Amino acid sequence: MSVVNISCYKFVTLTDREALKADLTARCLALGLKGTILLAPEGINVFLAGSREAIDAIVSHLRADPRFADLAPKESLSAEPPFKRLRVRLKQEIITMKMPLIQPEAGRAPSVTAATLKQWLDRGCDDAGRAVVMLDTRNDYEVEAGTFDNAVDYAIGIFSEFPPQLAAHRDDFAGKTVVSFCTGGIRCEKAAIHMKAIGIEHVHQLEGGILKYFEEVGGAHYHGDCFVFDEREAVSADLQPATGRLHR
């Protein structure tokens, strides 16, 4: 497999999105990269595929901008590019929640690493002895591909349905530690900030999402595959394209 696939995001205020769009479009085309880059006032979201050299070049270019210096792409490999073309798009949010008071750049909710989460799940409680609840923040068709064992899932169709569902079930988390998770970290970061804002006390986001968990600890306490938004449709715990096709 010779194609490197990366995904990464950063919540940071962007006031020069038109210039960024022009620059990143030109550089990605010159490098032969395919995929999608979303630019919003709240930040950047990147899904790209290409050769090892091209991926390293675009990551270096992005990190040269102080706003993106700490980008930490998650990687997987495939035999073919899972995207047909390159798209660099301007959007109002890099992930649509329709909660304008949430500004992740102003402060993140606490995060938990994959290794620490596995330890918690192994023993059934966090370091303080509280029961751990895994909260899936993804859409219903993504959850169908796979999720953590015994995860709470609200069967939402779009992410903007998450806040009202959470409000209706807030009391379910009293005295427990809630770990929000998603594919790559972006939705569970927004979700965790919202949970803190509405008074849920013990909240963590899974750092780097399911893909980083797979990368660091494999598929422990997870069943099925992870849905991804490209032509692979899903990857298994070893980050290889999942066998079989999803139907939705």
pLDDT in tens, the chain (248 residues): 589 999 999 999 999 999 999 999 999 999 999 999 999 999 999 999 999 999 999 999 999 999 999 999 999 999 999 999 999 999 999 989 887 766 766 777 899 999 999 999 999 999 999 999 999 999 999 999 999 999 999 999 999 999 999 999 999 999 999 999 999 999 999 999 999 989 999 999 999 999 999 999 999 999 999 999 898 999 999 999 986 544 44
Instruction: Reply yes or no on whether 182 is catalytic.
Output: yes
CA distance 24 to 87: 10
The pLDDT of residue 247 is 40
DSSP 200-212: -SSEEEETTHHHH
How many other C-beta atoms are found inside a 10 Å radius of the C-beta of residue 108? 14
The pLDDT of residue 114 is 97
| CB-based contacts of 184, cutoff 8 Å, min separation 6 | 7, 8, 9, 74, 208, 209, 210, 211, 212
The pLDDT of residue 103 is 74
Nearest to residue 104, comparing CAs of 186, 164, 27? Answer: 186
CA distance 5 to 149: 27
CA distance 141 to 138: 8
The CA distances from residue 132 to 187, 228, 232, 247, in Å, are 19, 26, 31, 32
The pLDDT of residue 99 is 79
Q: Which CATH class is domain 104-235?
A: alpha beta
**Domain ranges across the chain:** 3-90, 104-235
CB 134 within 8 A of CB 118: no
The pLDDT of residue 166 is 95
Residue environment code for 25-38, b if the CB has 16+ CB neighbours within 10 A, otherwise e: eebbeebebbbbbb
Exposed/middle/buried for residue 166 (C-beta within 10 Å: 0-12, 13-18, 19+):
buried
Amino acid residing at 5: N
Q: Per the residue annotation, which of 8, 28, 125, 182 is the catalytic one?
A: 182
SS3 115: helix
The pLDDT of residue 246 is 47
CA distance 114 to 55: 24
The pLDDT of residue 104 is 66
How many other C-beta atoms are found inside a 10 Å radius of the C-beta of residue 91? 14
**How is residue 121 written in tokens?**
């799940």
- CATH code assigned to 3-90: 3.30.70.100
